[in-house]
Amino acid sequence: MSTRTARTAEASSMYEDLVRDRIQTLRREAEEQRVIARVRAVNRARRDAERASMRLRNALQRLV
């Protein structure tokens, strides 16, 4: 009986380790996705600012 209990405890411990590792992986992946989203937002904002600058430059040239 004690051998079975030891195996069960060992299996339970291994399962908990696997679950913990999976949770850490999911958290890491979620953080990576947040970083990617931020980079995309910054790039989009930069492109929008460049377009606005070009529109302003063109409008000012038409005034001159």
pLDDT value, residue 64? 85
d(C-alpha 11, C-alpha 18), whole Å: 10
pLDDT value, residue 10? 86
Residues 6+ apart with CB under 8 A from 5: none
pLDDT value, residue 30? 99
d(C-alpha 26, C-alpha 63), whole Å: 55
pLDDT value, residue 48? 99
Overall pTM surpassing 0.85 (yes/no)? no
Residues of the chain with pLDDT under 50: 1
pLDDT value, residue 27? 99
pLDDT value, residue 32? 99
